[in-house]
Amino acid sequence: MGNQLSSLYDIAIAAGKVIMEHYHSQVQVTEKADSSPVTEADLAANALIIEELEKLTPDIPILSEESAHTPWQERQKWERFWLVDPLDGTKEFLRKNGEFTVNIALIEQGKPVLAVVHAPALNKSWLGDGSQAWLETKAGRERIRVRPATVPTVVGSRSHPSPELAGFLENLGEHKMAEVGSSLKFCMVAEGRAQYYPRLGPTMMWDTAAGQCIAESAGAIVLDKEGQPLQYHREELLNPSFIVSLTV
């Protein structure tokens, strides 16, 4: 595993420690323009990640959920950039169920090629370099790979159920269902604990890039409803619907 990925892992771990300092205390919540919640933990983790990424790669721009968003007129010239969600699953964080993550991904030519997803409350991290993926726990680091199942498990959103999901499940046939928050859904597919993650409701670029990289590095595919790979060199920050699966 490369030095840059190791550095990324260290940054995510440090951000996770900042988040956990707020986890068990009374957290101040404010609403953003889109009515989604933001906390001191989001902002503190964001400040740390931005500072560390700027030290690590001063020449690579950063697009983060919790920073001012660079307009497309400038972003369209970016061949590489960091895409960051410092605290994915703020609702899960506020519910104190542990299902929130730090997401950091490197985008090259619209594709996530390097990523870390860190779940500080679960003491778990997932890393991907585009061709291999790993799970890091207190027990150490292990390679992970997608796995088929006779009865597939479909993982869905705990906070964002969607009516379109019923149609997908009907077409799929026999299956088991699991619910989990944040980018952990991508990681369940990467680990082989789920075989499908249909996301048929809204997500933003920073919600998905790191998880997509982990899943693809473990052998999954992430396609929009037109069957095209989900990519990140575009003006629209809102993602189209997509499905993570083992096969087309």
- Output the pLDDT for position 248: 63
Residues of the chain with pLDDT under 70: 1, 32-35, 158-162, 248
pTM summary value: 0.94
Residue 61 tokens read as 């721009």
From the list 33, 89, 79, 82, the residue with the least C-alpha distance to 203 is: 89
pLDDT tens figures, 131-172: 999 999 999 999 999 999 999 999 987 666 667 888 888 889
